Amino acid sequence: MARWEPGARERLVASAVDLFTENGYDATTVAQIAERAGVTRSTFFRHFTDKREVLVAGQETLSRLLAEGITGAPTDATPLEAVAAGLTRAADEMGPMNRELGPRLRAAVAASAELQERDALKSVGLAAAMRTALMDRGVPEPIAHLAAELGVLAFKRGYATWSEAARDGDEGLAPHALAALNDLRTAAAFLG
């Protein structure tokens, strides 16, 4: 077993998602994840506290990127324009591994109530990061809250379409997330 090969965290995530999809979340052990990733159990625990935490690998980074994009938006940007800047900033960091894991990760989450709960908590955390960044820009709380929730929904919808789209081009996640945000903005106009 290779103990110090680079990319252990990424291999652990990919292995866990594959095993969750193949065997189910409950039937998958940390030892199986580590073995499939080619690392030791102690290496797994250097990266994650438990197997459920694999699902939120990168959540802190994603929250930071979304907030950075919102903070860096032009001062005259509307709340949704600032959210679009956050989505773009985060999307620019998503690579081929993120795209490949999307469908498998959704399947694993759909099959496990525990993973659905953890995924919902991840969404709450992402929305909180965006809401705080918007409020720091002077956006009132109710508007910041709504814009952040739309941002999370746009990110998730954009990620789903991006990860399931044909791989014949180099189009990144950003156009998909921004299109989803525009669709949501249009839909919100019909709320009354």
Domains of the chain: 8-54 (1.10.10.60), 58-191 (1.10.357.10)
Measured CA to CA, the distance from residue 164 to residue 35 in angstroms comes to 28
Measured CA to CA, the distance from residue 26 to residue 185 in angstroms comes to 39
- Decide which of 68 and 24 is more confident: 68
State pLDDT tens for residues 95-118: 888 888 888 888 888 888 888 898
Q: What's the pLDDT score for residue 118?
A: 86
**Where does the pLDDT of residue 138 fall: very low under 50, low under 70, confident under 90, or very high at 90 and above?**
very high
- How high is the mean pLDDT of the chain? 90
**Where does the pLDDT of residue 90 fall: very low under 50, low under 70, confident under 90, or very high at 90 and above?**
very high
C-alpha dist (Å) from residue 30 to 16, 33, 44, 135: 8, 5, 7, 40
Q: What's the pLDDT score for residue 2?
A: 46
CA-based angle 135:136:139, to the nearest 5? 35
- Decide which of 123 and 58 is more confident: 123
User: What is the radius of gyration, based on Cα positions, of the chain?
Assistant: 18
Measured CA to CA, the distance from residue 52 to residue 86 in angstroms comes to 27
